[in-house]
Amino acid sequence: MLNDRRSHGLWERTAPPPSATERLARDIVADVAIVGAGYTGLSTALHLSERGLRVAVLEAVEIGYGGAGRSTGLVNAGLWVMPSVLKERLGPVYGGRILDLLRDSPRLVFEIVDKHNISCELKRAGTIHCGEGEKGAAEIRERARQWQELGAPVRVLEPEEMRAKTGTSFYPAGLLDLRAGTIQPLAYVRGLGRAAIAAGASVFTGSPVDRIAREGGVWRLTTQGGSVRAKWAVLSTDTYTSRVMPELRAQQVAVPFFHVATAPLSDNVRRTILPEGQGAFDTRTVLGAFRIDDAGRLIVGSAGALRGTGAAIHRRWALRHIRALFPQIGEVMLEHEWYGRIGMTSDHLPRFHAPAENMIAVSSYNGRGIAPGTVFGRELARHIGGDVPLEGMFLPVTSPRGTPFRAIREGYYEVGSQIAHLPPAR
Ligand SMILES: Cc1cc2nc3c(=O)[nH]c(=O)nc-3n(C[C@H](O)[C@H](O)[C@H](O)COP(=O)(O)OP(=O)(O)OC[C@H]3O[C@@H](n4cnc5c(N)ncnc54)[C@H](O)[C@@H]3O)c2cc1C
């Protein structure tokens, strides 16, 4: 029986409370105004504040309300696509830059967690990318080859080791990536918020920005209760963008992705599933993910939205999926559920925009935003601080473009798309 219908599910239940924040209720001045309090906005705020700049973060709802507070919590290096694809799609200059920047990106997350004592169930045991079937296993071997060529500490797990490390015999091969880890994502983003505030940033929640306009050579960001005037404006609203810059969303397909979490498993079963504490995700077209939290709950995620007719379908699918992957689990109860939207682009790459003077935006992490969002935030701060010119940044500046057939593609993922991807019943 599910007893938790909160929008951030288990994460809301187990995260430390957020810092006390207020709505913006007056007109203020800052050096930099940041829209959106997720990993990107708060990492930017933290790094700018550490440089001594005056920062105001405006968040429509609450810290971590968007993807940041709903994610699986897998802190992975690189981007969703393979290293070779980055060079193919971005060319040698930007492809090389982004690889250099993100090849060890989890390290920055871990450093921030350590430096600011963020309590977020951090495990540095790596992640396992599970290959489904022969095709998935071949993809894993190719990923391993490419990362090993770049000197990354990754290796292929063959069937027996896969079974021992994951607790399922469903996947013939996996990629163990020792750079990676897992966090409680809402706890991490709240910790980032606390660190940014401690460094001097002002964070206003319940303060959606309705309008951004150029006034007297600075940006004026207006909310219902007040406004911020700032030399710089940073848009870090990604797939949860509302009210301003609809173009950021127009270039994405928002794939709904849900999680369920079981009641804490018995010690006997617990010891068989991901006993070393890695998080796992797979190579299916409709990606699946699984991990364990500190209390021993199994968390499983897949594409779909828990609303309308989709909710019951996805819950049933999740139970069947859990039993098929882990027959040793026996009777199992789901305790928590939640879902969010993952912003995908046609080439599976994030976007960097500079729509006007002293205005920048980064978005579209394609399901891998924890480490990249944290690193990009630091890089945005370096750009604003004058260390890196626009043309020296991690991605080329592009203009947002619409995605053809967006509504149709979002509808496909909404209900039941993963039914075709069930592991065979045992
Ligand atoms: C279900 C799910 C699972 C995921 N799993 C993983 C994972 O395991 N590993 C991984 O690396 N990534 C994962 N991701 C992706 C990751 O969560 C996102 O890439 C990341 O959250 C993007 O961070 P962000 O700070 O750019 O945006 P967000 O975290 O989405 O934050 C944007 C914020 O902007 C605010 N906002 C929007 N409009 C306005 C406005 N007008 N005024 C003020 N505020 C506004 C929103 O309220 C929101 O809080 C997952 C995402 C989802 C949804």
What is the distance in A from the centroid of ligand 1 to the CA of 184? 14
Give the relative orientation of helices 106-115 and 185-198 as an angle to the nearest 10 degrees.
60
pLDDT given for residue 38 in this prediction: 98
Q: Which atom of ligand 1 lies closest to the CA of 76? A: 11
State the Cα–Cα distance between residues 405 and 421, nearest whole angstrom: 23
Helix axes 83-102, 133-149, angle to 10 degrees: 50
Residue 64 DSSP class:
T
| Cβ atoms of 177 and 193 closer than 8 Å | no
Distance 151 CA to ligand 1 centre (A): 30
Distance 232 CA to ligand 1 centre (A): 21
Residues having CB within 6 Å of any atom of ligand 1: 35-41, 58-61, 65-68, 70-74, 76, 208-209, 236-244, 257, 340-342, 365, 367-370, 373
Tell me the per-residue pLDDT of 141-186, one tens digit each, with 9 for 90 and over: 999 999 999 999 999 999 999 999 999 999 999 999 999 999 999 9
Q: Are strands 202-204 and 227-235 parallel, antiparallel or unpaired?
A: unpaired
Ligand 1 centroid–CA 118 distance in Å is 19
Give the per-residue pLDDT at 415.
Answer: 55
What does pTM read for this prediction? 0.94
Q: What is the pLDDT along the chain (426 residues), one digit of tens a residue?
A: 454 456 899 999 999 999 999 999 999 999 999 999 999 999 999 999 999 999 999 999 999 999 999 999 999 999 999 999 999 999 999 999 999 999 999 999 999 999 999 999 999 999 999 999 999 999 999 999 999 999 999 999 999 999 999 999 999 999 999 999 999 999 999 999 999 999 999 999 999 999 999 999 999 999 999 999 999 999 999 999 999 988 888 899 999 999 999 999 999 999 999 999 999 999 986 678 999 999 999 999 998 888 887 788 888 888 999 999 999 999 999 999 999 999 999 999 999 999 999 999 999 999 999 999 999 999 999 999 999 999 999 999 998 776 655 665 566 565 555 444 444 433
Q: pLDDT digit string (tens) for 73-96? A: 999 999 999 999 999 999 999 999
Q: CA-to-CA distance for 33 and 343, rounded, in angstroms?
A: 23
